[in-house]
Structure 1
Amino acid sequence: MKALLLTAVLGLVAALSLAQEEQDFSGTWYVKAVVMGRDMPEEMRSKQMSPVRVTALEGGDLEVTITFVKNNQCVQKKVLMQKTDEPGKFRTYDGKKLLYAQELPGTGHFVFYCDNRHQGKLFHMARLLGRDSATNVEALEEFKRFVQGKGFLEEDIFTPAQTENCIPERH
């Protein structure tokens, strides 16, 4: 009886792990909210965000295409996210940085969280992403709880303007 129960439990754990590992991140994602540590340079705080495009690659890796404004110019950047043995954990920039993707239960949204070194300093950042641009109050509340658990302050959360295409800022 114990062996049967153990087999059933291990089978369930394996099925849940497999389901989590096979999460489909591919497609278009909209940045709903962003939070950064207070020491994050102002130039890294984008006031507008274009959708993020994610392409699934062989072996579970992902290619993420982001477009942002830098020095009043639209810049497109592709980032390779390398799958690790831990579900939801990826390596980027040749393994130098870690990025975590965590689903917010029941919301259809994900939090992408990373620790980042910039000019010798450690910075933290999290983004709430969803499959459409509509506001989801429940997902935003879950995001607030998640990031407060990581040490962020609620007043540091901001909602960037959604743009279909990158638009340089006017001065």
Structure 2
Amino acid sequence: MKVLFLTVALSLFSILHAEESTSSGEVLEGTYHVNAIVADKEIPKEKRPKSFSPVTITLVNDGDLEFSFTIRKDGKCKEIKARLEKTDNPNEFIMNEGRYHVYTTKTSASGSWILFCEGEFKGKQFKLVKLLGPNTEVDPEALKDYQEFIKEKGFNEKRIISPKQEEACIPESA
């Protein structure tokens, strides 16, 4: 269960972006869906995320980003919030005092983003790439950009996971 939670949390930590991300002025802010995920290491089927709720991303304090999403754990709904800190490098963020680095790239499809996350977990390096979109359906143009990106980074296309989309639940504490 810890590995599943970490996979979901780290995956979503990588869903952030700075306001100077593109010359078009588009900003990664609002509600997004995780359309695809690929990791540099094989994730056992029983530990793969089965579904994702929408992610809400908010721009705060000089370009830092906060995101929130909900998960169901042990039959209960829990809200997860995290903050990524903007760095001096455009389109790069850090989390947990620099243990995780997140890089964002706008796709050619309107409202879709590629997020590349790398860091260390339990003494082992990992890399993860996600495709975020404004809709539950994957934009073919965004998917093509995503596939080209992961190929350039040396990821195995056969490891792409297209998670089921689920509605956000309402935490008991809300």
TM-score if structure 2 supplies the norm length? 0.75
Alignment of 1:30-41 (within 5 A): 30-40=33-43
Q: 1:78: Cα distance to partner?
A: 1.1
Are the structure 2 counterparts of residues 74 and 113 from structure 1 closer, same or farther at C-alpha, using a change threshold of 3 Å? farther
Conservation of the 8 A alpha-carbon contact between 1:82 and 1:91:
yes
Would you say 1:65 and 2:68 are equivalent positions?
A: yes
Q: How many residues align?
A: 151
**Residue segments in structure 1 that go unaligned for 5+ positions in a row:** 1-16
Are the structure 2 counterparts of residues 62 and 159 from structure 1 closer, same or farther at C-alpha, using a change threshold of 3 Å? same
User: Which one of the candidate residues 79, 82, 86 is aligned to 2:85?
Assistant: 82
Deviations 1:110-166 (A, max 9, x none): 011111211111111111001122221121121111012111101100100011125
SS in structure 2 at match of 1:165: coil
Alignment of 1:124-135 (within 5 A): 124-135=127-138
Deviations 1:57-94 (A, max 9, x none): 02011001133345665442211111111111001123
SS in structure 2 at match of 1:155: helix
Alignment of 1:21-36 (within 5 A): 23-36=26-39
SS in structure 1 at match of 2:22: helix
Which amino acid counterpart does residue 20 of structure 1 have in structure 2? Answer: T
Moved more, 18-27 or 123-132: 18-27
SS in structure 1 at match of 2:125: strand
Deviations 1:8-48 (A, max 9, x none): xxxxxxxxx95638642221011110111224466652110
Which amino acid counterpart does residue 76 of structure 1 have in structure 2? Answer: E
Are the structure 2 counterparts of residues 68 and 152 from structure 1 closer, same or farther at C-alpha, using a change threshold of 3 Å? farther
**Residue segments in structure 2 that go unaligned for 5+ positions in a row:** 1-18
Question: Going by fraction, where is helix more abundant, 1 or 2?
Answer: 1
Conservation of the 8 A alpha-carbon contact between 2:109 and 2:139:
no
